[in-house]
Amino acid sequence: MFEPSPVLLAFLLFKRFAFMPLVASLSLVRALRARAPSRYMAITALVVAVIECILLLAPVAGLTGGHLAAMGQRFMNMGNGMLPLLVPSLFLAISAYIPGSRDRGIDFAHIALLWILVGLWVATLVV
């Protein structure tokens, strides 16, 4: 009766634990392979993604006290948790259009991740 749907559980797990590390790994590959202008934007995406991963895992490590942790948690809850996911994704997408980017496979994988995220989100609204 009060059991969550499998689609909702898949969305929450993907949003919380899979999307950000995958964006960080794609950003790392782009930072290693691209040239100067695109590399800088990919490094920005990587740094933001790693900081957000740390903020997601801070309660597990017991780092919940303090003003900085509270600010970080408020940021991670903006837009029901969707807005912080899109910030490093935006930097990674911008790095695809800046001169110096290579490996279009990174862009295809990034687009696939975004489609999965948005598709699961829409599916939770429908179900």
In this structure, are residues 95 and 77 in contact, taking their beta carbons and an 8 Å threshold? no
Q: What is the pLDDT along the chain (127 residues), one digit of tens a residue?
A: 678 899 999 999 999 899 999 999 999 999 999 998 999 999 999 999 999 998 888 888 877 778 888 888 899 889 888 999 999 999 999 999 999 988 899 999 999 999 999 999 999 988 7
- Boundaries of domain holding 76: 6-126
Determine, yes or no, domain membership for 1: no
Q: How far apart are CA 87 and CA 80, in angstroms?
A: 14
Question: Does pTM top 0.95 for this prediction?
Answer: no
Determine, yes or no, domain membership for 19: yes
Tens-digit pLDDT profile for residues 55-89? 888 888 877 778 888 888 899 889 888 999 999 99
Determine, yes or no, domain membership for 16: yes
Q: How far apart are CA 1 and CA 57, in angstroms?
A: 31
The reported pLDDT for the residue numbered 1 is 63
Domain count, the chain: 1
